[in-house]
């Protein structure tokens, strides 16, 4: 129990009354699996590596213990200095976590600021220099501030790398290493990630001190909340078919995932011409336009939002009914990241996958990894014309043939007949 704080319970986890009050106002009743396991570890000031999928409540898992400890540590009579640093891969995720901090700390006196690209360096720097307790940042912009001596992070004693695998896959390993060498030597580092990749292990070995490792195996539970369907379609008719499907079924709030910026632009243009209000977000779209697209999608002004995987990191929409894989991603983990945007907080969701002939094998691999079977459909009017892969079926063997194969033949050992010539030869040898 933390000294000097009135403690209440969030499930089995002890938190101060201010945090409990905020959680109740946010509609929280019981902690999720990751919260039950991670919060006690972080409250005990231990380093942590946690593997958890999107939608499992991991943001609260690292924010709640941090806010609890900050309440104890802050000297409210002095100028604030950064004590907590949260590093994330995208601007969208920075904003999401910034909102979460505001919501959870509404009954606490906690100051926080952001640092990310696409907006004024000076405005961000000025706010941080005035005094903050928490900085939420993307690695590139944060390092710019540090190297330009805008502010120091030497007072930071707690660091979280959220979506750590994505940060490192995006090539920010050097930036993260430079940042971690600038913080206090008396520090606690936690890494939250969808998977514990080799890059995550390498960074942990270099900077973490005997970390606790938590791996949640709840991918099956997440998948079971989602109704899957796969539409077989010719590759050149995917856009046309998806537009028809959304329009004819009157789908609203459809998040469409693509692999390239070019495809995102093509779908957006086609859908708008078809009378489906659509916007897209990807790396070439300005930050202000991305923010507007997300707001319009959440409010229902547009029916469809098209996104690349990296741009979609941090999208958090309650009761999102439809997620579409316009193209299959490179890995099963990316697939679960995508479909995990729907079926959250116990709500049912729908994941629709468009699959052409060359993607059949890839979809089978995903099904095998997730131990699910996705029903294949062909939409009327979109019958297949592309060459389909040959399916080799084993011929059924007749029962008599099976019996012959299972019955082992008895090997006959030929007895050697001794001929008269052999007998004479043996006699001479003797």
Angle at the Cα of 133 from the Cα atoms of 144 and 9, rounded to 5 degrees = 135
What token pair was written down for 31?
Answer: 């902690």
Is there a shared CATH topology between the 7-217 domain and the 220-377 domain?
yes
In this prediction, residue 1 carries a pLDDT of 39
pLDDT along the chain (430 residues), means of 10: 55 86 88 91 94 81 94 86 94 90 94 88 88 94 90 94 87 91 94 85 92 73 74 96 95 94 95 95 84 88 91 71 93 82 77 95 90 91 88 57 55 51 52
Per-position b or e across 336-370, b if 16+ CB within 10 A of its CB: bbbbbbbbbeeeebbbbbbbbeebbebbeebbeeb
Contacting residues for 361 by C-beta, under 8 A, at least 6 apart: 389
What is the C-alpha to C-alpha distance for residues 84 and 108, in angstroms, rounded to an integer? 16
In this prediction, residue 46 carries a pLDDT of 95
What is the C-alpha to C-alpha distance for residues 31 and 354, in angstroms, rounded to an integer? 36
In this prediction, residue 219 carries a pLDDT of 46
Q: How do beta strands 375-377 and 226-232 pair?
A: parallel
Q: Provide the 10 A C-beta neighbour count for residue 218.
A: 14
Note the maximum CA span of the chain: 120
Show me where the domains of the chain are located: 7-217, 220-377
In this prediction, residue 224 carries a pLDDT of 60
Compute the Cα dihedral for 263, 265, 266, 271 and give only its sign: positive
Q: Provide the 10 A C-beta neighbour count for residue 260.
A: 11
Q: What is the pTM of this model?
A: 0.65
What is the C-alpha to C-alpha distance for residues 110 and 102, in angstroms, rounded to an integer? 9
Whole-number CA gyration radius for the chain: 30
Compute the Cα dihedral for 91, 66, 85, 133 and give only its sign: positive
Q: Provide the 10 A C-beta neighbour count for residue 150.
A: 16
In this prediction, residue 4 carries a pLDDT of 43
CATH of domain 220-377: 3.40.50.300
Looking at 56-197, list the stretches that DSSP marks H as alpha helix, in order from N- to C-terminal side.
58-73, 91-104, 121-130, 139-147, 164-169, 173-180
For domain 7-217, the CATH class is: alpha beta
Q: Provide the 10 A C-beta neighbour count for residue 172.
A: 20
What is the C-alpha to C-alpha distance for residues 81 and 353, in angstroms, rounded to an integer? 48
Q: What is the DSSP letter of 107?
A: T
What is the C-alpha to C-alpha distance for residues 179 and 256, in angstroms, rounded to an integer? 35
What is the C-alpha to C-alpha distance for residues 146 and 23, in angstroms, rounded to an integer? 34
| Structural contact between residues 2 and 16, judged by C-beta atoms closer than 8 angstroms | yes
């Amino acid at each position: 129990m933390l000294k000097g704080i009135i403690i209440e319970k969030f499930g089995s986890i002890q938190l101060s009354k201010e945090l409990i009050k905020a959680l109740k106002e946010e509609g929280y009743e019981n902690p999720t699996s990751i919260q039950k396991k991670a919060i006690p570890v972080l409250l005990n000031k231990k380093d942590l590596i946690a593997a958890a999928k999107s939608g499992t409540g991991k943001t609260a898992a690292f924010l709640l213990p941090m806010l609890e400890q900050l309440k104890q540590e802050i000297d409210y009579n002095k100028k604030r200095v950064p004590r907590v640093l949260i590093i994330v891969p995208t601007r969208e995720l920075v904003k999401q976590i910034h909102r979460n901090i505001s919501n959870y700390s509404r009954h606490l006196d906690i100051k926080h600021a952001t640092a990310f690209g696409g907006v004024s360096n000076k405005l961000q720097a000025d706010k941080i220099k005035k005094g903050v307790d928490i900085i939420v940042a993307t690695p590139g912009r944060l390092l710019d501030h540090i190297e330009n001596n805008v502010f120091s992070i030497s007072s930071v004693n707690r660091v979280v790398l959220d979506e750590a695998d994505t940060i490192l896959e995006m090539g920010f390993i050097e930036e993260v290493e430079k940042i971690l060498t600038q913080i206090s030597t008396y520090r606690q580092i936690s890494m939250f990630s969808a998977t514990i990749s080799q890059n995550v292990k390498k960074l942990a070995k270099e900077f973490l001190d005997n970390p606790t490792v938590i791996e949640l195996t709840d991918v099956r539970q997440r998948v079971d909340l989602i109704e899957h369907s796969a539409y077989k379609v010719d590759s050149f008719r995917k856009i046309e078919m998806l537009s028809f499907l959304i329009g004819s079924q009157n789908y609203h709030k459809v998040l469409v995932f693509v692999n390239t910026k070019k495809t995102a632009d093509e779908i957006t243009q086609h859908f708008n011409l078809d009378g489906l209000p659509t916007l897209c977000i990807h790396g070439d779209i300005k930050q202000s336009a991305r923010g507007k697209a997300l707001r319009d999608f959440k409010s229902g002004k547009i029916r469809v939002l098209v996104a690349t995987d990296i741009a979609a990191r941090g999208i958090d929409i309650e009761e999102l009914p439809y997620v579409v894989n316009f193209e299959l991603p490179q890995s099963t983990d990316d697939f679960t990241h995508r479909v995990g945007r729907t079926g959250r907080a116990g709500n049912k969701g729908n994941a629709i996958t468009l699959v052409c002939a060359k993607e059949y094998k890839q979809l089978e691999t995903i099904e095998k990894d997730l131990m699910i079977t996705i029903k294949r459909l062909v939409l009327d009017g979109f019958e297949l014309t592309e060459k389909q892969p040959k399916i080799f079926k084993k011929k059924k063997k007749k029962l008599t043939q099976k019996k012959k194969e299972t019955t082992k033949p008895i090997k006959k050992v030929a007895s050697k007949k001794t001929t008269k010539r052999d007998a004479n030869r043996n006699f001479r040898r003797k």
